[in-house]
Every structure is written in C-alpha cells, then in structure tokens.
Amino acid sequence: MPVLDAVRSRLNRELFARVAGENGPAARERIHGTPGPRWFAPGSPIRRVHGDVSMYVGGLRALLLQSLHPLAMAAVAGHSGFRGDPWGRLARTSTFLAETTFGTVEHAEQAVAKVRGVHQRVRGHAPDGRPYHASDPHLLTWVHVAEIDSFLRAHQRYGRSPLGPAESDEYVAQTAQVARRLGAVQVPETTAELAEIVEAYRPELASTAAARETTRFLLLQPPVPWVARAPYTLLACAAVGLLPEWAHRMLQVPYLPPVEATVGRAGGHAVMSGLRWITAG
C-alpha cells in the first residue's frame, strides 16, 4: 500500500540517519558503490552477520560486556564522548564496520589506519590509578572478543539466517583479520577459542561504578525519542538476555531465565521483525 510504503520509507530514513549520521547516505554510496576488490566475498559469514539487523542487539550487548573491563571503560568514559554524543559514536562505529566488511580494500585499510591513529592518542589513568592506552594489544583483544562474541550470539538467536558450526568458525576467523590490523594479538580463530579467551579475561573484569552507571544509561536512560522507547526496551531486554550469568551479577541487572526464555525472546524477535520491515532487509 502506498501509505505503508511512505511510512516505511520515512522510518527507514530516520533510523539510518540515527545509526549512520548525517554523512550516512554519502558513506553508503562510497562503501557499496565503489568498484574494486574487497577483503570479504559476498555471502561470506562476516557479511551475513554484519549486514543483519540483529547487530542492534549484538552492539548493545557488546557495550555492556566491554564496560566490565576497568581500563576499557576508563578509555571510553574519558575519550569517546559516549554520553555527550552517543549517536556520533554509534555512527563512527557503524561506518567502520561497514567499511571493513563491505568496502574496498583501499577504503578498509584507510578506516583501520584512521582508528589506529585515534587509538594512539587515547591514553590516561583509570580511577584506580592504573594507566591505559587504547593501542594496548591486550586491551584491543578484549574489545574485539566482547564485540565478536556479542555479534555472533545475537545473530544466532535473532538473525535471519543463523550460521552453521563451520560458518561460525569462519566468521570468527574473518573478524580476526580486522582485529590484527588494528593491533590486537592472540585473537581467536574459532568459536571454541573465542569462548576460551572471553573466559580468560574474567579475572580482569570488575563491577565498577562506571560500568554500572553505563548500564543504567544504556538501559534506563537511552538517548532515544520517547516514541522509540518501547521498541528500544525490547531490544535492550534481548541484549541483556544474551549476557552470561556472571555479567548480570556484575552489572547488577535483574535476570529471570524463565521470563527471558519466553517474554524476552518473543519481544526480541518482535523488534527484529519490525526493524526488518523498516529496512526491508
């Protein structure tokens, strides 16, 4: 129906503007329209995962999980402007993922070089006095595994076409190529290695005031219009439902498995269906 098509088109434009920023349309044309070789082939696992709307759930879960590392949280709080300009940070992150996943080799390499340059300037001290540097390979690895674990788990539960075991390993291996170019070390190549590395970081994680404040900001005070609060709440519940039990305790987020397995997942699938209708993807 023409009216529904017009509504969907308007919602699509507004959503894309939020996620990709004011330069989003030009960036999309450059990323997808420029001819040339790419790092990853069409239809490859990394393209399937990063091109699915389940990334909204995975991205939020990643932010929650990453906040549990005190040094990573200190770097974000001190330099990213995530509270003052959350949409700007989202636009920069989504553009980087698009450039490295779908862009030409030249554009992907430029994106990596730009982020590495930013990381070189991000340094300081955490509230406990420990120094941090965003280019620290060990810290980069934590940021990477928290993201990839989140993206993959969200895709497997809410993605249009979940990956098989071999495809999941291929996804982890493909993302490792980008992580190494950013400076991460000892990055996982399989889902088994991914689980092992996430577990290995647990002794470094902590329930800090900054992590809990970030959780409240993301879950209870989201930077979204009131009209979008209801679907955002469903998305947030889906993200929280994917966190491990130990992360729920550390972030002090209530978690009731029976409720998550029924109402929470149903809500997550509902908001994914709505996003697919809006984006027609």
pLDDT digits (tens, 9 = 90+) for 80-126: 655 655 666 777 888 999 999 999 999 999 999 999 999 999 999 99
Q: What is the mean pLDDT of residues 198-220?
A: 93
Percent of the chain with pLDDT over 70: 86
- Token pair listed for 41: 């082939």
Q: What is the mean pLDDT of residues 154-168?
A: 97
- Tell me the residue ranges of DSSP E strands in the chain: 123-125, 131-133
pLDDT at position 84, please?
A: 53
Contact 107, 32 (CB under 8 A): no
Query: Whose CA is closest to 239, among 270, 260, 216, 212?
Result: 260
Confidence of residue 220 (pLDDT cuts 50, 70, 90): confident
Each residue of 124-157: pLDDT tens digit?
Answer: 999 999 999 999 999 999 999 999 999 999 999 9
Contact 238, 268 (CB under 8 A): yes
Q: What is the mean pLDDT of residues 64-78?
A: 90
Query: Mean pLDDT highest for which of 1-15, 132-146, 214-228?
Result: 132-146
pLDDT at position 227, please?
A: 76
Q: What is the mean pLDDT of residues 210-215?
A: 91
pLDDT at position 131, please?
A: 94
Q: What is the mean pLDDT of residues 259-271?
A: 81
Alpha carbon distance 243, 253 (integer Å):
10
Average pLDDT, the chain: 89
